[in-house]
Amino acid sequence: MSNAIQTAGAKTESVWDYPRPPKLEPTAKQIRVEFGGTVIADSRSAFRVLETSHPPVYYIPPADIAMQYLFKDTGDSYCEWKGRASYHRVVVGEARAGNAAWSYTNPTPAFRFIRDFIAFYPNKMDGCYVDGERVVSQPGDFYGGWITSDLVGPFKGAPGTRGW
C-alpha cells in the first residue's frame, strides 16, 4: 500500500514508496518531448518504471516518436532489472544531443512490454512534459527520471547518493 498524500486535491507520491525490484506500469498521461523546436514524441501509450528512490522514467512506443530524429549512439549500459540498454542521439537540424535517449532491444521478461520503447533524458531535451507539466530532471547524469510536482523525494542521483 502506498503512503500517497492527498493535498489540495492533488495526489502526491513518495519515491520511497516505489518498489525494489522496480515496477512497470502503463500510463494514459500525455508524455511529450521537445527538442530543436520540434515535438519529437507525443504519447498516451507510454509505460513508466517505478523504483525506490527514483522519479519515474517514461518509456515511449516508437510509433509515437518521430524516429527520423533518433540515431544509434555509442556505448551501452546494463541494468540488473531490465537488461542491456543501447543509446541514441537526437538530431533536429543543427541541434544535437548525444546519448540523449536509451532503449532495450532484448529486455528481461518482466520488462518485455518496453522492448524498443525509448526513454529520454529530460536534461538533454528542450522540454519534457507529463500532462502538460514541464518536468525537472533527476539529479546526476545517469538515471534519467522525470520529476513532477506530485513527487516527493529525496531523489537518488545527486552526488553522495550512489550508495543508497
Half-sphere exposure of 158 (CA within 13 A, CB side): 5
Low-confidence residues of the chain, pLDDT below 70?
A: 1-10, 162-164
Burial profile 136-149: b = 16 or more Cβ within 10 angstroms, e = fewer: bbbbbeebbbbbbe
Residues contacting residue 154 through CB under 8 Å, at least 6 positions apart: 53, 161
Strand partners, 16: none
Grid cell, residue 93, equals: 537540424
pLDDT given at position 8: 42
pLDDT given at position 2: 42
pLDDT given at position 158: 80
Read off the DSSP letter of residue 45. S
Cα separation, 25 vs 18, whole angstroms: 12
Report the side by side order of strands in the sheet with 127-130: 38-43, 31-35, 127-130, 133-134
Grid cell, residue 30, equals: 500525455
pTM over 0.95: no
